């Protein structure tokens, strides 16, 4: 979610489609909608063809249509991750495993159903593939939208019709010959987007895919011809590709993206809100990173609004908010809004965003499974790999984390901090795509690397490190939450509160004792009276998330199974950790503990320089010193995982829009050093002088 410098929440316009937003962005790749793999995919694998589940349905459709089986399955994975979402439409009006689209004027927010534009939408075959596909197999559109077998048959027939139109009425048994037809299936209006989609499908064909009981056999010998996309007569190089040659005023090339991603640049506002006050600017700070401020982290967010409306909001300096990148749900299109050398105002904690690059994802956290598409995951992974290599950021969860893991910048802001990307962002899948999977690891010199030890319930001794990793697809949880007033997710009521459907989730519940009936852990900033934690999606006090690392405080084997206690927020927190679910993998990390002789040590919301580090012109107007989290402390004997070496307290002082204030755009560096630690669901800082460091 977008954080502001003032109210800490940016109101976003509802813009469910690029038509509704009335901007230059296109609905080009509406058909490119692939849901993040969820537990629904496993259930779906049991439906489909007669007696054969989805594998049988795919095989029958491939025989009937002449589409090579591996192409059909890989295409379906890119569209939906083999998940039918219970018949509900995707955010771009796609239905079923093949994401056949049906867009009507009624589904477009803000579009007059009697307008010429509405008529054009309903007549556009790219936006209404369900009708054409249903006709090809002689089925009813409604049945094709909700029945897995018919949906796969219809999608295969549609793909085959594209291939025949491109090849004189013929189809081929050569998988590579379907490249252009797959590009057309994307619904893209430009060659770059069609190529990106087709390349991802055929990457799946070459490498193979194995998810939730379904598999595409790897065929690395498949060859494709990108020039065949010329036959689609699309608009040529996308505007994004042309924008790559553009230059910012300071000569920086924009957008900053991998060359094969379809990116564009729409600059966020750097403008005054009060012409008489040079310090009243939004929406980011000009800087010279990494020359004067190291880039250490990449933060993952969601917009809680539509893509176009979010990008447009950043053009308003009164937003006092920005992000470096925004990624569209339907096709993974990337828009950069702030140069990475500059500091975006994104996560509500300047000690984080001063050193971070932020990536916003179109979507609503409470409905993440419907919004976080495979296109978003794959695009984000490619972008993060590029940025991590450019700036030397480690590909791990201690440096790549969510907005929900960032503390507020002071005591009063803890309950205002956001909780995106939420419980349905598949961190395990995302880290796999980064090429940095979450796996068990052991301290150097350890003899405990025998695979048999991984299923030993007595493993993970006290003081060792574990990484949280529940089986996402099998980790079905129910959380409660409220939909946003501008949430257009199909089947939901905007502004409605209540329990969400049971679905795949990225966290484990934390309890006060090794008992499934024990109360959920209480968060002091949320429950001042000490009452138990809740199932609310925004209750950060009782959830540990995939990829987070903690120090083991205790282990128990009870009649309910294996339980692990971790040091979490100053207390022991228990979670069920059966080895069949790999919820607590052995791991390694740097660990800090209070120095001997200290009964407890304080915890900080920010890592700021000490007061004496500020020169007088700056200290007179902006003196930021370390902010205590007064409801927290760390007692003797507890241990917490660090995100890396200790760092000096720093603050980027930026006062006037033109850099004209005395010592404007100065990096203030103190002598006090801090460790960033995984304290609870969120990060926090501790003074290096208060702790001893060891490598576990």
Q: Which residue has the higher pLDDT, 187 or 117?
A: 187
Averaged pLDDT score across all residues of the chain = 86
Q: Which residue has the higher pLDDT, 44 or 644?
A: 644
Look at residue 353 and tell me whether its pLDDT is greater than 60.
Answer: yes
- List C-alpha distances in Å: 534 to 512, 541, 641, 652: 13, 9, 26, 38
Tens of pLDDT along 78-115? 888 888 776 777 666 788 999 898 876 554 444 455 56
| Alpha carbon 523 to its chain's center | 25
Q: Which of 227-241, 383-397, 660-674 has the lowest mean pLDDT?
A: 227-241
Kindly provide the residue ranges of all beta strands, DSSP E only, lying in 494-601, ordered along the sequence. 497-499, 503-504, 507-509, 543-545, 549-558, 561-568, 571-576, 584-587, 590-594, 600-601
Confidence (pLDDT) at 123: 60
Cα–Cα dist 665/101, whole Å: 50
- Range 613-616, long-range pairs (CB < 8 A, 24+ positions): 613/649, 613/668, 613/669, 613/670, 613/671, 614/668, 615/663, 615/666, 615/668
Percent of the chain residues topping a pLDDT of 90: 67
Look at residue 368 and tell me whether its pLDDT is greater than 90.
Answer: no
Confidence (pLDDT) at 50: 46
Confidence (pLDDT) at 453: 52
Confidence (pLDDT) at 105: 52
Contact present, 323 and 12 (Cβ < 8 Å): no
pLDDT (average), residues 159-184: 96
Q: Give the residue from 405, 371, 430 showing the smallest Cα distance to 545.
A: 405
Q: Which of 101-110, 316-325, 336-345, 373-382 has the lowest mean pLDDT?
A: 101-110
Structure tokens at 157: 């027939």
| Alpha carbon 626 to its chain's center | 30
Look at residue 120 and tell me whether its pLDDT is greater than 80.
Answer: no
Confidence of residue 1 (pLDDT cuts 50, 70, 90): low
Cα–Cα dist 616/394, whole Å: 37
Tens of pLDDT along 226-244? 999 999 998 765 444 334 3
Structure tokens at 582: 């790999």
pLDDT (average), residues 256-261: 90
Q: Give the residue from 578, 483, 478, 573 showing the smallest Cα distance to 534.
A: 478
Cα–Cα dist 362/245, whole Å: 26
Look at residue 40 and tell me whether its pLDDT is greater than 60.
Answer: no
Q: Which residue has the higher pLDDT, 316 or 115?
A: 316
Structure tokens at 274: 């009060």
Contact present, 151 and 96 (Cβ < 8 Å): yes
- List C-alpha distances in Å: 561 to 505, 558, 580, 581: 21, 5, 11, 12
Confidence (pLDDT) at 79: 87
Q: Which residue has the higher pLDDT, 411 or 460?
A: 411
Q: Which of 84-88, 293-297, 649-653, 655-659 has the lowest mean pLDDT?
A: 84-88
């Amino acid at each position: 979610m977008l954080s502001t410098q003032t109210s800490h929440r940016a109101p976003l316009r509802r813009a469910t489609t690029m038509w509704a937003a009335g901007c230059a962005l296109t609905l080009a790749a509406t058909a490119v909608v692939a849901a993040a793999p969820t537990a629904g995919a496993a259930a779906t694998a049991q439906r489909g063809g007669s007696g054969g589940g989805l594998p049988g349905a795919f095989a029958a459709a491939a025989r009937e249509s002449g589409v090579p089986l591996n192409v059909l399955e890989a295409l379906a994975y890119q569209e939906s991750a083999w998940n039918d979402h219970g018949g509900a439409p995707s955010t771009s009006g796609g239905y079923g495993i093949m994401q056949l689209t049906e867009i009507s004027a009624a589904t477009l927010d803000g579009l007059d159903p009697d307008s010429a534009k509405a008529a054009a939408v309903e007549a556009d075959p790219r936006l209404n593939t369900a009708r054409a596909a249903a006709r090809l197999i002689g089925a009813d559109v409604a049945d094709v939208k909700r029945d897995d077998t018919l949906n796969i048959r219809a999608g295969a027939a549609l793909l085959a019709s594209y291939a025949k139109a491109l090849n004189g009425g013929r189809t081929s048994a050569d998988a590579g010959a379907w490249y252009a037809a797959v590009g057309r299936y994307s619904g893209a209006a430009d060659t770059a987007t069609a190529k990106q989609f087709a390349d991802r499908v055929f990457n799946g064909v070459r490498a193979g895919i194995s998810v939730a009981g379904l598999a595409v056999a790897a065929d690395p010998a498949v060859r494709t011809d990108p020039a065949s996309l010329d036959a689609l007569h699309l608009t040529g190089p996308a505007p994004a590709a042309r924008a790559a040659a553009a230059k910012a005023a300071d000569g920086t090339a924009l957008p900053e993206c991998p060359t094969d991603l379809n990116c564009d640049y729409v600059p966020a506002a750097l403008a005054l809100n009060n012409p008489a006050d040079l310090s009243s600017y939004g929406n980011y700070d000009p800087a010279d990173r990494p020359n004067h401020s190291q880039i250490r982290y990449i933060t993952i967010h969601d917009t809680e609004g539509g893509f176009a409306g979010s990008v447009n909001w950043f053009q308003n300096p009164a937003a006092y908010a920005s992000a470096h990148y925004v990624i569209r749900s339907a096709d993974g299109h990337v828009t950069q809004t702030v140069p990475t050398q500059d500091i975006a105002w994104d996560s509500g904690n300047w000690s984080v965003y001063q050193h971070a690059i932020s990536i916003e994802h179109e979507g609503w956290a409470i409905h993440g499974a419907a919004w976080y598409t495979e296109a978003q995951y794959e695009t984000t992974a490619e972008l993060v790999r590029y940025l991590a290599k450019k700036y030397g950021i480690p590909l791990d969860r201690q440096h790549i984390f969510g907005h929900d893991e960032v503390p507020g910048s002071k005591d009063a802001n803890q309950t205002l901090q956001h909780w995106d990307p939420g419980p349905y962002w598949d961190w395990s899948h995302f880290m796999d795509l980064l090429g940095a999977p979450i796996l068990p690891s052991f301290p150097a010199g350890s003899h405990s690397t025998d695979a048999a030890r991984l299923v030993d319930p007595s493993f993970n001794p006290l003081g060792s490190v574990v990484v949280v990793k529940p089986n996402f697809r099998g980790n079905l949880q129910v959380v409660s939450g409220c939909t946003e007033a501008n949430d257009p997710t199909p089947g939901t009521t905007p502004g409605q509160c209540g329990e969400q459907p049971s679905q795949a989730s990225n966290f484990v519940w934390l309890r006060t004792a090794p008992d499934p009936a024990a109360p959920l852990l209480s968060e002091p900033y949320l429950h001042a009276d000490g009452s138990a934690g809740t199932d609310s999606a925004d209750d950060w006090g009782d959830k540990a998330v995939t990829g987070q690392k903690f120090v083991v405080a205790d282990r128990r084997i009870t009649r309910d199974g294996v339980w692990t206690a971790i040091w979490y927020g100053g207390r022991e927190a228990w979670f069920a950790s059966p080895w069949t679910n790999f919820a607590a993998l052995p791991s390694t990390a740097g660990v800090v503990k209070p120095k001997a002789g200290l009964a407890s040590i304080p915890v900080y919301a920010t890592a700021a320089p000490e007061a004496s580090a500020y020169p007088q012109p700056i200290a007179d107007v902006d003196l930021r010193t370390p902010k205590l989290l007064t409801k927290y402390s760390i007692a003797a004997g507890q241990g917490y995982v660090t995100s890396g070496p200790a760092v000096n307290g720093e603050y980027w002082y930026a006062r006037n829009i033109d850099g004209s204030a005395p010592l404007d755009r100065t990096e203030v560096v103190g002598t006090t050093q801090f460790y960033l630690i995984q304290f609870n669901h969120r990060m926090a800082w501790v003074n290096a002088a208060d702790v001893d460091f060891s490598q576990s």
